[in-house]
């Protein structure tokens, strides 16, 4: 749990630094992308209602970044992750599909800008499977839990394989979203050369 708390603090630090930079230079697309990525990371530590609001805030920051630089691949990809996260937190199928469609649109644009980026390509491939995973997540009742869950140790040890399967599915889905968002945040963080040492 200490590692999780440290992660939350780290992304809160990134978010605050981005907010401060924004007051000095509101037209820095890199900074806005970093801010959006940090918000997406912070969202996973909250309940569904709060997480959805934080993701909406992230989308607003990423939209600002794309107004400044419409072809910024990191912003496009991060936007795809934001809509994927939002879709998984939305139980209503039609509304979730709309978010998945937007995610696909942004992932496709990111791939168009950087076709050799394997992470972008993988993200685009994953969105085609996302609606099926969404249906499974909500059938298992996992969509109502915090985005990050309680960690792998929360997986039921004494329950039957079905419980383990639903837990594994949750970590597959949310793990992919969280990993993707984390990479974007770190890329932006590293580019900014902010004096906080990255773990090796």
Query: Which tens digit of pLDDT belongs to each residue from 145-176?
Result: 444 443 332 333 333 344 444 444 444 445 55
Looking at every residue in the chain, the average pLDDT score rounds to 77
Task: Give the residue-averaged pLDDT of 54-64.
Answer: 97
Kindly compute the dihedral angle of the four CA atoms of residues 57, 154, 198, 186, in this order, to the nearest 10 degrees.
-30
- Res 45 pLDDT > 90: no
Q: Which residue has the higher pLDDT, 127 or 110?
A: 110
Q: What is the pTM of this model?
A: 0.73
Cα(39)–Cα(36) distance, integer angstroms: 5
- CA geometry: angle at 107 spanning 76 and 132, to 5°? 135
Per-residue pLDDT tens over the stretch 88-105: 888 898 999 999 999 999
- What's the pLDDT score for residue 189? 46
Q: Contact 43/51 with Cβ under 8 angstroms? A: yes
DSSP 8-state class, residue 26? T
Cα(69)–Cα(137) distance, integer angstroms: 35
- Res 48 pLDDT > 70: yes
Task: Give the residue-averaged pLDDT of 79-86.
Answer: 93
- What's the pLDDT score for residue 26? 96
């Amino acid at each position: 749990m200490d590692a999780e708390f440290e992660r939350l603090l780290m992304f809160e630090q990134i978010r605050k630094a981005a907010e401060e930079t924004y007051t000095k230079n509101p037209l820095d697309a890199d900074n806005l992308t970093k801010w959006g990525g940090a918000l997406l990371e912070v969202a996973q530590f909250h309940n569904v209602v709060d997480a959805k609001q934080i993701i909406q805030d992230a989308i607003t920051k990423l939209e600002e970044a794309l107004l400044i630089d419409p072809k910024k691949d990191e912003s496009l990809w991060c936007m795809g992750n934001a809509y994927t996260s939002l879709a998984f937190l939305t139980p209503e199928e039609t509304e979730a599909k709309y978010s998945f469609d937007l995610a696909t649109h942004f992932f496709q644009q990111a791939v168009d800008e950087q076709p050799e980026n394997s992470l972008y390509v993988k993200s685009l491939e994953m969105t085609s499977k996302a609606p099926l995973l969404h249906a499974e997540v909500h059938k298992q009742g996992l969509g109502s839990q915090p985005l990050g869950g309680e960690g792998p140790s929360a997986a039921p040890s004494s329950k039957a394989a079905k419980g383990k399967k639903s837990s594994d599915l949750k970590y597959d889905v949310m793990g992919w979203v969280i990993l993707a968002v984390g990479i974007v945040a770190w890329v932006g963080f590293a580019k900014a050369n902010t004096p906080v040492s990255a773990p090796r």
